[in-house]
Amino acid sequence: MTVESTAARKPRRSSGTKRAAGAASAAKAAAATAQNAEPQLVQLLTPEGERVESAENAEFAPFVADITTEDLRGLYRDMVLTRRFDGEATALQRQGELGLWASLLGQEAAQIGSGRALRDDDYVFPTYREHGVAWCRGVDPTNLLGMFRGVNHGGWDPTINNFHLYTIVIGSQTLHATGYAMGVAKDGADSAVIAYFGDGASSQGDVAEAFTFSAVYNSPVVFFCQNNQWAISEPTERQMRVPLYQRAQGFGFPGVRVDGNDVLACLAVTRWALERARRGEGPTLVEAFTYRMGAHTTSDDPTKYRRDEETAAWEAKDPILRLKAHLLATGGADEAFFEGLEAESETLGKRVREVVRAMPDPDTMAIFENVYADGHALVDEERAQFAAYLASFEEGH
């Protein structure tokens, strides 16, 4: 992908050990070990595509007992099309059609697995990278591109798909999700709410406050953290000293670490957490342990801060290849299926390209629209003044 040759670069961690020994660095090393040791996580499908049974997954496996081979092909299709859309958007940014793009490459399983666990009446609060979840909610993927092209700040009506607008300020939406969930509980509804955020966002005060509020009000919200290991250039060691999912314990609700590259495990764990919420058992923290294969956004250059070896190790855990291996090994899909999907991907990519290029700039006077619901004298005044100013050019002809 975007990773250039880094053969000459020293492993990042080696420079850290050069610094002073002693208690501080020992603690640091211990923290790093806690973060980077092969984590205990819920996995149902190995990187080789084999179904596994274990003590860790026994509680969760029943939540996907109903998943048929056809369902598996559906999950595979979701991930492939999402990746294709994402790749197309990245290309469109490189071609100057988008001002910025935040790629989800590598995180398809976390997003499709959790997204497909949701019911229509559940409500989703995404960050700005949840393109796969948007796909699951039925939001037309081209609608996600308006904000990155610079024609709007949203581009879809959140109330239609119960999929809130992307939130760019890190972690803010976890509080909105909590408040919304408080409302769901007040309404006596059995809907659930899911809030997406990243490992970097877990450092934000708002996320801690969301944990506090949801715990004390026992709100039906699932905090779905995609730990993709990097917050732009900051590794998880710069965000935390204990594994992220363990944080939930301090707030009084369960936390689970799931293999974020295993779509089946993500589906199972999210269903489990959503059911807890629906039963009135309050919030859950799900840490989907995954990896951002590309850059943070198209403005970022990951070759400056991470090693090829690390990326290569995660490539071997690719969520799509894993399910493909499983489908092939079990006879769940044949070549015709994969070929058909390839053709569908190309059609999607073509449509995305065409729609983006045809996206009109907004009308100039849209600047003044929807600033207030009830109107505002100053906005009215400035709108009239600016309209008169623009009109003055036309009168000049």
Partner 1 sequence: MAVEKMSIAKALNESLRKALETDPKVLIMGEDVGKLGGVFRITDGLQKDFGEERVIDTPLAESGIVGTAIGLALRGYRPVVEIQFDGFVFPAYDQIVTQLAKMHARALGKIKMPVVVRIPYAGGIGAVEHHSESPEALFAHVPGLKVVSPSNASDAYWMLQQAILSDDPVIFFEPKRRYWDKGEVDVDAIPDALHAARVAREGTDITLAAYGPMVKVCLEAAAAAAEEGKSVEVVDLRSMSPIDFDGLQVSVEKTRRLVVVHEAPVFLGTGAEIAARITERCFYHLEAPVLRVGGFHAPYPPARLEDEYLPGLDRVLDAVDRSLAY
The CA distance from 198 to 86, in Å, is 18
Cβ contacts of residue 374 below 8 Å, gap of 6+?
none
Phi-psi category of 74—alpha, beta or left, where left has phi over 0 and alpha has psi -120 to 50? alpha
Query: 131, 164, 247, 292: which one is catalytic?
Result: 292
Query: 77, 305, 353, 383: which one is catalytic?
Result: 305
Angle at alpha carbon of residue 249, lines to 246 and 255, rounded to 5°? 55
Whose Cβ is closer to partner 1: residue 176's or residue 324's?
A: 176
Distances (CA, A) of 300 to 181, 280, 297: 34, 42, 5
Q: How many residues of this chain interact with partner 1, rule: CB under 8 A?
A: 43
Q: Which of 157, 339, 346, 354 binds partner 1 (CB under 8 A)?
A: 157
Provide the CA 215 distance to its chain's centre, in angstroms.
23
Of 38, 107, 36, 91, which is closest to residue 292 (Cα–Cα)?
107
- Using CB under 8 A as the binding rule, the residues of this chain from 325 to 384 that contact partner 1 are 369-374, 376-379
Whose Cβ is closer to partner 1: residue 55's or residue 378's?
A: 378
Residue 227 forms beta bridges with which residues? 289
Whose Cβ is closer to partner 1: residue 167's or residue 229's?
A: 167
Q: Which of 40, 212, 233, 330 binds partner 1 (CB under 8 A)?
A: 212
Whose Cβ is closer to partner 1: residue 279's or residue 376's?
A: 376
**Which token pair is 211?**
């944990």
- Using CB under 8 A as the binding rule, the residues of this chain from 175 to 204 that contact partner 1 are 175-184, 186-187
Is residue 158 a contact residue for partner 1 (CB under 8 A)?
yes
**Could you tell me the smallest distance in angstroms from the CB atom of residue 377 to partner 1?**
4
Residue 87 has φ and ψ, to the nearest 5°, of: -65, -35
164 counts as catalytic: no
Give the number of other Cβ atoms within 10 Å of residue 205's Cβ: 9
**Which token pair is 171?**
């972690």
The CA distance from 348 to 350, in Å, is 5
Stretch binding partner 1 (CB under 8 A), from 21-29, 80-88, 174-182, 298-306: 174-182
12 counts as catalytic: no
292 counts as catalytic: yes
Is residue 213 a contact residue for partner 1 (CB under 8 A)?
yes
- What is the contact mask toward partner 1 in residues 122 to 151, using x (rule: CB under 8 A)? -x-x--------------------------
Angle at alpha carbon of residue 260, lines to 113 and 5, rounded to 5°? 125
Residues found near partner 1 in the complex (CB under 8 A): 123, 125, 152-154, 157-159, 164-165, 167, 169, 172, 174-184, 186-187, 205-206, 209-210, 212-213, 216, 369-374, 376-379
Positions marked active-site: 292, 296, 305
